[in-house]
Amino acid sequence: MLQRLLIGLLLVGSVLCAPQISAEEPAESTKSALLTLQDGSQIHGQLNPSQTAGTIRWSIDEFVSPIDFPVDHFVSAVFPAPARREQMKGVFSVEFHSGDVIAGEITKWEQGQLTLESPRFGSLTLLENAIRRIDRIDDEAELLYSGLTGVSDFRTVEGPWIFDGMRLVTSEPGSRIIGEFELPDRVMVEFAVSREEGAEFSFVIAFDSRDKRTAPFGWSCTAFGNSLALIYEQEKFAALKPVGTLSQSDTVRLIAYLDQPGGAIHLYERTGKPLAVLQIPESIRLEHTDKLATGLGLILNDEGTVRLEQLSVSHWNGVLPAAQLSAIRQFHLNDGTTVAGPAESFEHSAETVTQTQNNQTLSFELTELKRAVFAGESNREPRQVVVLMSDQSRISGELVSVSDQTLTVRSPDVVEPIGVSLAGIRTLFNASGHASEKRESKDDSVATLYVSSGTLKGRLVDSTGADEESCLVWQPQLGSSSSALKPLLSGRIVYREPVAPKPEVTVEAVPVEQPNQNALQKFGQLFFENLGRGRARRERKNEDPQPHDIHLITGDVIPCEIESISAQGVHFSSKMTDTRLIGHEHLRAVVFDRTADVPELEKARRERLLTLPRNQKASPPTHLLCSSGGDFLRCRLNALDQDALVVEIQLSDHEIPADRVSHIIWMHPERSIGTVTGEREGESTSEENPEPTMVVAGQIQARMAKDNRSTFVPIRVENGEIVGTSSVFGECRVPISRIDQLLLGEAVVDAAGDLPYHDWKLQPAVEPLYTQGTGDGQGASAPGMASSLIDKPAPDFQLPLLDGGEFVLSENRDQIVLLDFWATWCGPCMLTMPLLEKAMKEFEGKSVRLISVNLEERPEQIREVRDRHKLSMTVALDRDGAISRRYSIQSIPQLIVIDREGVVHRHFIGGGQTTVDEAARAVRDLLKEPADSLP
């Protein structure tokens, strides 16, 4: 055992040497108290009046009415902490063997009872045999620290320490809390530390925290394995004294008397029984007289859970308890003397205490009493609750009732019921300390409700909504009553975490003929030419009658078979509903190939794909088509039948074979999903965003297996089903047994934001600065001068060329360089490029070079477009969009003119003949510069 304890010494030193990190106590709710139940539920709320004994009535913001919880089903209720720590008021503090503490003035003491006038609790009659200790509390110089108010009491905090309103708790090895209490030479430290799962800990009674160069060695009481020992450690010396053995879940309640100049520590039980003395050699003591300990704390050395239950630090006069308290009392007087005697010989009259022992009588006045210590043990009568007040007063017993202002407790230690002001309560605890037998349930209908106030386990019960109430009535698992949820709350009910669906087997590609689409122009042509690449969409099979999915704006996913698409919406058939038509305003996407992944693109390329060109603002594309090969096409979808889609591209209609399209995505404007109707006062639909909101008050969404979702307004709960109405499908019924999660209110909107197709939204292109009146238009010094890049060195780069080789900007300092940022799918780009090539012929044979920087497209795709349009420009490949980002290119086309010194001379946003003419004029100006301006 000693060998293991010596190893423990090393652990203490190594942990204390760890870097010191300050931490703040976790913030508590400033609005309400936090109730913790035996099943792990934690919910903020308020304590309500209740005349039912042993019952907590708790009101919660999201519930229509309060809920009753039996006391044996809750763990604690922690109330908001006061702005500053309160001090006990009274002459004496009376501590009972049960751990309760009451402060006041002793006005009567006879026949085994004391009368205490308490400023907090009023006049109380205390049973003398229940009292453990009486301390004078008006001598601030004697008491250094009493009680626990939180992590903030300690200077150094490492690890996740939790203050539950009464105790400091941690379960992470290496966690420690260290306080700087400026300990005197002689100090009495009373502490209680509990452990679970055999946790190994060190309660550091005193250490030198001023020496920052070495480990803060000192005195500690250490639990190692099943042993408890007193330890003293310095850099070159260590000593230990075995104290006793512990079980896996013992609570250590001890008093340590430390005499630092004398180099000794005495450990006592709270009953006064001496346990151990550790005396260090005089030579060691003299060596460290200039390094007296000033701080104390607690360290968790290994796995398990440790709790600091109690801590009291005070001056010690150097006089040890005279004897064990099994048969006598001890009275410590102000002059340092101790009076002891058998309990049966005590008498009290007026303000004089008379002690008779061996026919000798000693008397002293109450004003001379500093401390009285009594023999005995705690009353074993069961206690329901422990009430901890904000001044560290404590009451335990049976909960009798709760009124508007007072909580009444009947304590076995006090004759009268005790009225406790609700305003002064810091924490309300379950005194039993063990979990209820009802805390676990295998019922599949039991779920966890998540709302802003916290979490609460329970179930939905049958109900029909009354006026102004939701039909969703929640019965907490450990509650004795239920309550309806408020209609406009936001939250979720989780029955089980959804399981991600297994990926389907990929269907092999089937070679097909490419469709003849010679009439198409620009970027749309490429989409059609690539339709034959990759795999074809799988054929419909008899055993798969619902091969498609419809995704709604609300998040609903409907397995179905799509029959056609018209101006009215999508026509389909599904086992889930009798509805055969869904309007376009409800649609987010249609998936024809359920084996295909959700389309994904690199961020910069996707932003460009979803950017609305300025020349299409009057008639924007409404749909995004994705082919099986991964190509995309923006268009307006006019119709779909079994064979083909009819789409509009640049005001002309074209047909696309239906079996070449894997996804159709509806590109709704930004406000396609709005806030919950009626929830936020003062909101109105903006003229710029006239789209109606798609979520209404009281709406919920059931999320089921394979991420299928159903969104509706509930009407009632009956026979294990939620019955409601859907704006799309009409009446619907959802069995609770099929639900993984039930989303409530705005949680439906929030969840929709994470859905696969929610963020495929078309955004307007950035307008050229001259159209905003701040750039190239009226008032500007010259066209192309409004950019922040003007007169700054152009960012250098190196890019591969389409026809081989590389282009390095810094290697072209003797030339004027034009960078044209473009893509094949960009209509204005394709209109501008021939004009730009024609203009550049003026500068042939001169030091002018045009580099067309293509954004993230495949070389073969670029060649096909260049050859088809008979263009001859030099193309640099910005494959990942990195160079365009360096030049802050957020829309295309853009044209940048760089002079011979590598400085940006002009920056034109947009295309067309005017931009080309201005760029040519800028090049002419640069060519006219004198030769001596060259580097």
- Tell me the pLDDT tens digit for each residue of 242-295: 998 888 778 898 999 999 888 899 999 877 788 999 998 887 776 655 556 667
Among 105-109, 517-521, 609-613, 805-809, top mean pLDDT goes to 805-809
Lowest mean pLDDT among 36-40, 421-425, 471-475, 684-688: 684-688
Average pLDDT over residues 922-935: 67
Amino acid identity for residue 430 in this structure: N
**Residue 652 predicted with pLDDT over 70:** yes
pLDDT for the residue 631: 79
pLDDT for the residue 629: 73
Average pLDDT over residues 752-767: 71
**Residue 8 predicted with pLDDT over 80:** no
Average pLDDT over residues 470-476: 91
State the pLDDT confidence band at 421, using cuts at 50, 70 and 90.
very high
Phi-psi region of 339 (alpha: psi -120 to 50; beta: other; left: phi over 0): beta
Average pLDDT over residues 133-145: 72
How large is the C-alpha radius of gyration of the chain? 40
**How many angstroms separate the CA atoms of 798 and 809, rounded?**
7
Q: Which two tokens stand for residue 596?
A: 């295909």
- Does residue 465 or residue 477 have the better pLDDT? 477
498 upstream amide cis, omega within 30 of 0 = no
| Burial environment of residue 651 by CB neighbours within 10 A (0 to 12, 13 to 18, 19 or more) | exposed
State the pLDDT confidence band at 216, using cuts at 50, 70 and 90.
low
State the pLDDT confidence band at 480, using cuts at 50, 70 and 90.
very high
**How many angstroms separate the CA atoms of 386 and 78, rounded?**
12
Q: Collapsing DSSP states into helix, strand and coil, what is residue 797?
A: coil
Its sign, for the CA torsion 818, 821, 824, 827, is negative
pLDDT for the residue 363: 77
**Residue 538 predicted with pLDDT over 70:** no
516: nearest Cα among 662, 644, 624? 644
The crossing angle, in degrees rounded to 10, of helices 827-840 and 913-927 is 40
pLDDT for the residue 564: 93
- Does residue 799 or residue 705 have the better pLDDT? 799
**Residue 868 predicted with pLDDT over 50:** yes
**Residue 852 predicted with pLDDT over 60:** yes
pLDDT for the residue 70: 94
For residue 45, list its beta bridge partners: 33
Average pLDDT over residues 296-325: 81
Lowest mean pLDDT among 16-30, 564-578, 690-704: 16-30
pLDDT for the residue 933: 39
Q: What are the Cα distances from residue 488, in Å, to 447, 598, 700?
A: 20, 33, 10
Average pLDDT over residues 405-424: 94
**Residue 682 predicted with pLDDT over 70:** no
Among 667-671, 854-858, 928-932, top mean pLDDT goes to 854-858
Note whether 278 and 166 are within 8 A (CB). no
**Residue 313 predicted with pLDDT over 80:** yes
State the pLDDT confidence band at 214, using cuts at 50, 70 and 90.
very low
- Does residue 92 or residue 442 have the better pLDDT? 92
pLDDT for the residue 290: 55
Lowest mean pLDDT among 328-332, 344-348, 725-729: 344-348
- Does residue 484 or residue 284 have the better pLDDT? 484
Among 63-72, 245-254, 596-605, 677-686, top mean pLDDT goes to 63-72
- Does residue 33 or residue 27 have the better pLDDT? 33
**Residue 934 predicted with pLDDT over 50:** no
**Residue 160 predicted with pLDDT over 60:** yes
**Residue 125 predicted with pLDDT over 90:** yes
pLDDT for the residue 409: 96
- Does residue 203 or residue 652 have the better pLDDT? 203
Average pLDDT over residues 449-455: 94
- Does residue 292 or residue 354 have the better pLDDT? 354
Lowest mean pLDDT among 238-242, 856-860, 875-879: 856-860
| Burial environment of residue 21 by CB neighbours within 10 A (0 to 12, 13 to 18, 19 or more) | exposed
pLDDT for the residue 650: 67
Average pLDDT over residues 641-656: 82
Strand (E) or helix (H) holding 400? strand 394-402
pLDDT for the residue 443: 63
**How many angstroms separate the CA atoms of 883 and 862, rounded?**
18
Q: Tell me how many degrees the CA angle 23-26-29 measures, rounded to the nearest 5.
A: 155
Average pLDDT over residues 550-568: 87
pLDDT for the residue 437: 41
Residue given tokens 């950017």 in the structure block: 611
pLDDT for the residue 52: 92
pLDDT for the residue 367: 81
**How many angstroms separate the CA atoms of 209 and 182, rounded?**
10
Percent of the chain whose predicted confidence (pLDDT) is above 90:
29
**How many angstroms separate the CA atoms of 297 and 176, rounded?**
7
Average pLDDT over residues 508-516: 35
- Within the chain, what is the greatest distance between any pair of CA atoms? 130
* Tally: H helices and E strands in the chain: 9, 66
Among 199-203, 697-701, 857-861, top mean pLDDT goes to 199-203
709: nearest Cα among 558, 570, 578, 857? 558
Give 363's contacts (C-beta < 8 A, 6+ positions apart).
352, 353, 354, 355
Lowest mean pLDDT among 61-70, 530-539, 797-806: 530-539
- Does residue 589 or residue 633 have the better pLDDT? 589
Residue given tokens 């404590």 in the structure block: 394
pLDDT for the residue 529: 55
Among 17-21, 231-235, 311-315, 900-904, top mean pLDDT goes to 900-904
Note whether 314 and 187 are within 8 A (CB). yes
**Residue 192 predicted with pLDDT over 50:** yes
- Does residue 215 or residue 582 have the better pLDDT? 582
User: For the chain, what percentages of helix, strand and coil (3-state, to nearest 5) are there?
Assistant: 15, 40, 45
**Residue 770 predicted with pLDDT over 70:** no
What average pLDDT does the chain have? 78
pLDDT for the residue 291: 58
